[in-house]
């Protein structure tokens, strides 16, 4: 029962912007024109002697007190009214828990499903209940004009509604340390039916240990594939030699269970050489059994075992992909075994999990990037080294576009896509097989 | 204006007779002009360091990803840029440097009320500055919290925040003591005939500023002391798991730091209010309104601090009240702008460098003020809070406002203090280059902020690349302009042509004594004031 049409957060805020920018623009123009005119008209060359020595005029001064007072009153009112729209949550908003920590986001839905991207259904308001596990963060989605700090010890909220499907940047806007500017994810607005299916789909049963690492945000700073991020990679961490700086002196340690546990509960004691002392202490923040699970997993990550794992840059997509591979290898029928509602082909599954569909539609509609529909085999105009060239979208092009998307940018599209080196050749073949079905 | 007659101005004035030889004649001097110059050179050096750090930040942001430094170094650099520019340049900039040099002369005094305390304030300033610099190389390395020191991050980080907090504490005392000295001086040491309504507007602005310094600065002392205790003793006052509240820190911080914005900008407004009448040969229009608006800004400006916190989680009622008060404080600022324009009406305007910088103050401060209205409005602020829009806004107000006023003051008063003139053509060219660079740099920041780029971002999404590169190019143009301006003015004051007592045709007392002024400013007898500060007819200028 919502008698009034829903005013989106974007509309509410933009109204205030238009009013204030309008009034300010006129005021700025007036002041600038007046200043230039006065300097020109009363220049000493033109007027060697001042025309008057008048130094007050009560009426004039009263006028320029009263008019600005009225104008600022109007601007205050529009600002306040728009703000109220941001605070009034529509009755039918879906609640989602938004938890922040250094330096990642975790969204938990009513049915317990978690995600590090914020999936929302198009056209349906959502309210995100914001908390922080460590320092201040701020939930900011420029497209919806919403921002609210995540404060330890209290719960804040924002609500918004995505009217168009798409992928929208979600930034952390409150400075939170060394990887503040990497604390970025996206709001994925997908059609309501797709959202319902996504919500029902059980997350692939990943390694329990890996899931714990993701849950506690470890993978925001530590990769699984050897690439250094804010902190050292977990690849081969079980039993390797590490050089640490303790109290100003460096020494070499073996990365055993005791060391790893100490590094989690009191990370400031021994800092791995070459890395900033950035990690917050997790003492008391991870339940005993979960800590044990994490240590089991980490000590198992010795160099030998890891060599079988894949190479890639993005720790999170890496985790998803590794899971994917494991499933395919073990059960042979991953979709049926773990995602009962989703009978997608492996390629489609990959496109979903790696976030491709956030920017590329399958129905020919334009999003951040070009649609997948009819892509394979078509002639594409791309910008390469500043020149427009025409290429055929074949298997080779697909590999180039995924591994190094910045080299050839589809004409009229932004160079927005990050490289996905984590996708193996087999993955890309699977993607290609699926894309070829999208005629 | 007075019975004082200019003596032959080819002696070296107060430069000639120090009480001690060489450098000791300066660092042990209690003469307000010498202390003013100590401050001037200290803040100018720190300004140049701050500019250098700013250029490094812009260079890092020229492209996404790592360009010239790591994320940790970037965070330390913007923290240092903020701390230096705010605590070591803008806050002491105009009041402690030009206020000390000029204010006692403007009211016909021979020095401030407490000359030794004045020197002590400078020592506190230097001590704070040395500690701030020491914090970079000791303990856990340079602080990485931003100049706002928000908890819980600042309570947790292993970098040397504790020492930086002590530095801010000491710098606060320097500011309080200067304020105390100025209020006392303006009350007690005005010469015969210098009634309250004959005080030049620059001195009036210092008076309003001094009250904020005295009343608001203790709060930052308390705030950083509590932060220190939080770090060293683990008091938990801001830790919710121990019954504390991180938002309380923000209130305490801004109860000082918002009024501090007016400590920064009011003296700048005073400089502009003094310069425009002289170069227009017309009395300041609405003198009383300008005085009242200074006091009103000082008062109302103390009640708007929480407009930095609309998104923090404080109550909607608080948001409404602070938004409303924020709009109220815009009115006295608008009044000043209209009064400055009206002063030029029907005048005889000479576009010399001090006026050029004063006019750019009006333009840039107006843009900064109007974008401040965007931030004051609750709904609009939610979108642009903590984005580059805010960074652009406060650089317009602080650099475009106070910074330009500082440059205007340099071009207006340094020839008086040093008795030599700079090259006006070069000064005008430098002004043009600075304006072009400034507008490119900070307008780009505002636009990229409107598009949603958060501030304090070491790395950014590729959509923001173009505007960031434009801003960086702007920073280079600005740097060229600044170098040109400083080289020209420093060359001028050391090697330029000697100037007479009153090169601009001013009617205030400082223009009635020789350039450079003698040690105790006035001869045997104190001056007697018989007319207002901008009465060019009675002063014999017209």
Residue B366 has pLDDT above 60, yes or no: yes
User: With bands split at pLDDT 50, 70 and 90, how would you rate the model's confidence at B466?
Assistant: very high
Contact A126, A160 (CB under 8 A): yes
Conformational region of residue B505, where left means phi above 0, alpha means psi within -120 to 50, and beta covers everything else: left
User: With bands split at pLDDT 50, 70 and 90, how would you rate the model's confidence at A426?
Assistant: confident
Residue B7 has pLDDT above 60, yes or no: no
CA separation for the pair B423, B442 (Å, rounded): 28
Which token pair is B338?
């209209």
| pLDDT at residue A1, as a whole number | 43
B474 or A395: whose pLDDT is higher?
B474
Mean pLDDT value across chain B: 93
B197 touches chain A (CB under 8 A): no
**Pairing relationship of beta strands A156-160 and A126-132 according to DSSP bridges:** antiparallel
Cβ–Cβ gap B331/A65 under 8 Å: yes
What mean pLDDT is predicted for residues B389-395?
97
| pLDDT at residue A312, as a whole number | 36
| pLDDT at residue A331, as a whole number | 37
What mean pLDDT is predicted for residues B450-463?
94
What mean pLDDT is predicted for residues B201-207?
96
Contact B453, B388 (CB under 8 A): yes
Residue A388: CB atoms within 10 Å = 9
CATH node for A94-200: 2.60.40.420
Least confident piece of the model among A62-71, A307-316, B286-295, B365-374? A307-316
Question: Which residues on chain A are in Cβ contact (under 8 Å) with B463?
Answer: 414, 416
Residue A104 has pLDDT above 90, yes or no: no
User: With bands split at pLDDT 50, 70 and 90, how would you rate the model's confidence at A309?
Assistant: very low
At B57-82, the pLDDT tens digits run 999 999 998 889 988 899 999 999 99
User: With bands split at pLDDT 50, 70 and 90, how would you rate the model's confidence at A2?
Assistant: very low
At B146-193, the pLDDT tens digits run 999 999 999 988 889 999 999 999 999 999 999 999 999 999 999 999
What mean pLDDT is predicted for residues A249-262?
85
Closest by Cα among A314, A178, A174 to B66 = A178
CATH node for B21-511: 1.20.210.10
User: With bands split at pLDDT 50, 70 and 90, how would you rate the model's confidence at B8?
Assistant: very low
| pLDDT at residue A421, as a whole number | 65
Which segments within A75-136 are labelled E, that is strand? Answer: 94-101, 104-108, 114-115, 118-121, 126-132
User: With bands split at pLDDT 50, 70 and 90, how would you rate the model's confidence at A361?
Assistant: confident
Could you please state the CATH topology (level 3) that the domain comprising A207-302 is classified under: Cytochrome Bc1 Complex; Chain D, domain 2 (1.10.760)
pTM over 0.90: no
| pLDDT at residue A260, as a whole number | 87
Residues 6+ apart with CB under 8 A from A366: none
CB pairs under 8 A between A and B: 273
Residue B217 has pLDDT above 90, yes or no: yes
Minimal Cα–Cα distance from A291 to chain B, Å? 21
CATH node for A346-435: 1.10.760.10
- ipTM computed for the complex: 0.91
B27 touches chain A (CB under 8 A): no
CA separation for the pair A301, A370 (Å, rounded): 39
| pLDDT at residue A172, as a whole number | 95
A353 or B536: whose pLDDT is higher?
B536
User: With bands split at pLDDT 50, 70 and 90, how would you rate the model's confidence at A414?
Assistant: low
What mean pLDDT is predicted for residues A315-325?
40
Of B157, B311, B460, the CB nearest to A181: B460
At B21-41, the pLDDT tens digits run 888 889 999 999 999 999 999
Cβ–Cβ gap B72/A169 under 8 Å: no
What is the end-to-end Cα distance of chain A in Å, rounded?
A: 42
A33 touches chain B (CB under 8 A): no
Minimal Cα–Cα distance from A145 to chain B, Å? 5
Beta strands across the sheet bearing A408-410: A387-392, A379-384, A408-410
Minimal Cα–Cα distance from A73 to chain B, Å? 7
What mean pLDDT is predicted for residues A249-264?
85
Class level of CATH domain A9-87:
mainly alpha
Same fold, A207-302 and A346-435: yes
Of B346, B348, B377, the CB nearest to A78: B377
Over pLDDT 90: what percentage of chain A?
A: 39
Q: Which residue of B has its CA nearest to A284?
A: B241
User: With bands split at pLDDT 50, 70 and 90, how would you rate the model's confidence at A321?
Assistant: very low
| pLDDT at residue B44, as a whole number | 97
Give, in order, the Cα–Cα distances in Å from B171 to each of A60, B132, B246, B383: 43, 10, 24, 34
B365 or A408: whose pLDDT is higher?
B365
Contact A150, A130 (CB under 8 A): yes
Question: Which residues on chain B are in Cβ contact (under 8 Å) with A182?
Answer: 459
Q: Does the CA dihedral A361-A362-A365-A370 come out positive or negative?
A: positive
Residue A342 has pLDDT above 60, yes or no: no
Contact A147, A173 (CB under 8 A): yes
| pLDDT at residue A314, as a whole number | 40
B187 touches chain A (CB under 8 A): no
| pLDDT at residue B207, as a whole number | 96
Helix, strand counts (H, E) of chain B: 18, 2
B2 touches chain A (CB under 8 A): no
At B233-282, the pLDDT tens digits run 999 999 988 899 999 999 999 999 999 999 999 999 999 999 999 999 99
Q: Which residue has tokens 């815009």?
A: B330
Q: Residue A62 burial (CB < 10 Å; 0-12/13-18/19+)?
A: exposed
Q: What are the residue boundaries of the structural domains of chain B, listed by start?
A: 21-511
B481 or B240: whose pLDDT is higher?
B481
A75 touches chain B (CB under 8 A): yes
Most confident of A75-79, A197-201, A361-365, B1-5: A75-79
B146 touches chain A (CB under 8 A): yes
Cβ–Cβ gap B150/A184 under 8 Å: no
B139 or B384: whose pLDDT is higher?
B384
Q: What are the residue boundaries of the structural domains of chain A, listed by start?
A: 9-87, 94-200, 207-302, 346-435
A83 touches chain B (CB under 8 A): yes
Closest by Cα among A157, A166, A159, A171 to A122 = A166
CA angle A435, B461, A321 (to 5 degrees): 40
Cβ–Cβ gap B156/A230 under 8 Å: no
């Amino acid at each position: 029962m919502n008698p009034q049409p829903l005013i989106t957060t974007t509309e509410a805020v933009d109204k205030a912007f238009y009013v204030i920018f309008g009034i300010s623009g006129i005021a700025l123009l007036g002041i600038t024109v007046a200043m230039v005119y006065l300097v020109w008209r009363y220049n000493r060359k033109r007027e060697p002697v001042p025309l008057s020595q008048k130094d007050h005029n009560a009426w004039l001064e009263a006028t320029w007190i009263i008019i600005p007072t009225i104008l600022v009153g109007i601007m205050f009112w529009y600002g306040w009214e728009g703000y109220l729209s941001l605070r009034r949550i529509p009755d039918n908003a879906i609640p989602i828990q938004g938890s922040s920590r250094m330096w990642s986001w975790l969204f938990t839905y009513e049915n317990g499903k978690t995600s590090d991207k914020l999936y929302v259904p198009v056209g349906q308001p959502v309210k995100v209940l914001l908390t922080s596990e460590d320092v201040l963060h701020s939930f900011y989605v420029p497209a919806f004009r919403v921002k609210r700090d995540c404060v330890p010890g209290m719960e804040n909220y924002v609500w918004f509604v995505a009217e168009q499907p798409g992928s929208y940047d979600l930034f952390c806007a409150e400075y939170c340390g060394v990887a503040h500017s990497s604390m970025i994810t996206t709001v994925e607005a997908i059609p309501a039916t797709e959202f319902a299916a996504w919500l029902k789909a059980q997350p692939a049963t990943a390694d329990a240990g890996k899931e714990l690492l993701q849950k506690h945000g470890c993978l925001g700073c530590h990769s699984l594939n050897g690439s250094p991020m804010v902190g050292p990679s977990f690849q081969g961490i079980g039993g390797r030699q590490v050089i640490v700086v303790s109290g100003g002196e460096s020494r070499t340690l073996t990365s055993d269970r005791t060391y790893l546990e100490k590094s989690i509960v009191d990370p400031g004691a021994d800092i791995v050489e070459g890395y900033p002392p950035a990690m917050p202490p997790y003492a008391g923040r991870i339940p005993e059994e979960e800590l044990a699970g994490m240590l089991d997993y980490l000590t198992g990550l010795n160099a030998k075992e890891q060599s079988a794992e894949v190479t890639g840059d993005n720790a999170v997509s890496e985790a998803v992909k590794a899971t994917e591979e494991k499933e395919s290898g073990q059960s042979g029928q991953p979709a049926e075994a773990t995602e009962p509602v989703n009978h997608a082909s492996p390629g489609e599954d990959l496109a979903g999990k790696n976030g491709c569909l956030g920017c590329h539609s399958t129905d020919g509609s334009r999003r951040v990037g070009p649609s997948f529909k009819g892509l394979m085999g078509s002639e594409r105009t791309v910008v390469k080294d500043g020149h427009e060239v025409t290429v055929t979208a074949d298997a080779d092009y697909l590999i180039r576009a995924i591994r190094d998307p910045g080299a050839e940018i589809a004409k009229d599209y932004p160079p927005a896509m990050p490289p996905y080196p984590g996708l193996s050749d087999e993955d890309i073949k699977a993607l290609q097989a699926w894309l070829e079905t999208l005629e | 204006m007075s019975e004082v007659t200019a003596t032959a101005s080819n002696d070296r004035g107060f430069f000639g007779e120090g009480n001690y030889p060489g450098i000791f004649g300066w660092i042990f001097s209690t003469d307000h002009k010498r202390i003013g110059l100590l401050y001037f050179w200290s803040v100018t050096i720190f300004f140049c360091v701050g500019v250098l750090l700013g250029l490094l930040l812009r260079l890092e942001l020229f492209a996404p990803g790592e360009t010239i430094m790591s994320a940790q170094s970037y965070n330390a650099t913007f923290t240092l840029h903020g701390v230096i520019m705010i605590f070591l340049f803008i806050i002491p900039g105009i009041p402690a440097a030009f206020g000390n040099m000029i204010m006692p002369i403007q009211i016909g005094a021979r020095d401030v009320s407490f000359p030794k305390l004045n020197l002590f304030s400078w020592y506190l300033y230097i001590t704070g500055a040395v500690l701030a610099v020491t914090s970079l190389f000791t303990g856990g390395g340079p602080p990485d919290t931003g100049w706002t020191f928000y908890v819980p991050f600042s309570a947790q980080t292993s970098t040397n925040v504790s020492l930086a907090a002590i530095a801010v504490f000491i710098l606060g005392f320097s500011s309080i003591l200067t304020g105390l000295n100025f209020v006392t001086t303006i009350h007690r040491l005005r010469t015969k005939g210098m009634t309250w309504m004959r005080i030049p507007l620059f001195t009036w602005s210092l008076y309003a500023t001094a009250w904020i310094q005295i009343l608001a600065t203790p709060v930052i002392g308390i705030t950083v002391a509590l932060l220190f205790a939080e770090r060293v003793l683990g008091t938990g006052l801001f830790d919710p798991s121990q019954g504390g509240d991180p938002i309380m820190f923000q209130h305490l911080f801004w109860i000082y730091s918002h009024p501090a914005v007016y400590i920064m900008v009011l003296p700048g407004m005073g400089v502009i209010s003094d310069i425009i009448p002289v170069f227009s040969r017309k009395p300041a229009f609405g003198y009383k309104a300008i005085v009242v608006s200074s006091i009103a800004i000082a008062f109302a400006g103390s009640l708007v601090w929480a407009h930095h916190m609309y998104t923090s989680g404080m109550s909607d009622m608080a948001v409404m009240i602070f938004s409303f008060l924020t709009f109220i404080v815009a009115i006295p600022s608008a009044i000043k702008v209209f009064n400055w324009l009206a002063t030029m009406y029907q005048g005889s305007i000479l576009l010399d460098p001090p006026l050029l910088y004063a006019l750019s103050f009006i333009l840039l401060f107006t843009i900064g003020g109007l974008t401040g209205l965007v931030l004051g409005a609750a709904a609009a602020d939610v979108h642009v809070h903590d984005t580059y829009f805010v960074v652009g806004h406060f650089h317009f107000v602080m650099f475009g406002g106070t910074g330009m006023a500082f440059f205007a003051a340099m071009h207006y008063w340094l020839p008086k203090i040093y008795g030599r003139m700079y090259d006006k053509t070069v000064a005008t060219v430098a002004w043009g280059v600075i304006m072009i660079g400034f507008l490119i740099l900070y307008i780009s920041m505002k636009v990229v902020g409107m598009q949603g780029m958060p501030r304090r971002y070491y790395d950014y999404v590729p959509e923001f690349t173009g505007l960031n590169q434009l801003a960086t190019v702007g920073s280079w143009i600005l740097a060229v302009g600044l170098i040109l301006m400083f080289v020209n003015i420093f060359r001028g004051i050391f090697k330029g042509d000697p100037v007479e007592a009153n090169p601009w045709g001013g009617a205030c007392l400082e223009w009635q004594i020789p350039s450079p002024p003698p040690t105790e400013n006035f001869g045997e007898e104190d001056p007697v004031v018989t007319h207002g500060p901008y009465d060019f007819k009675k002063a014999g200028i017209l």
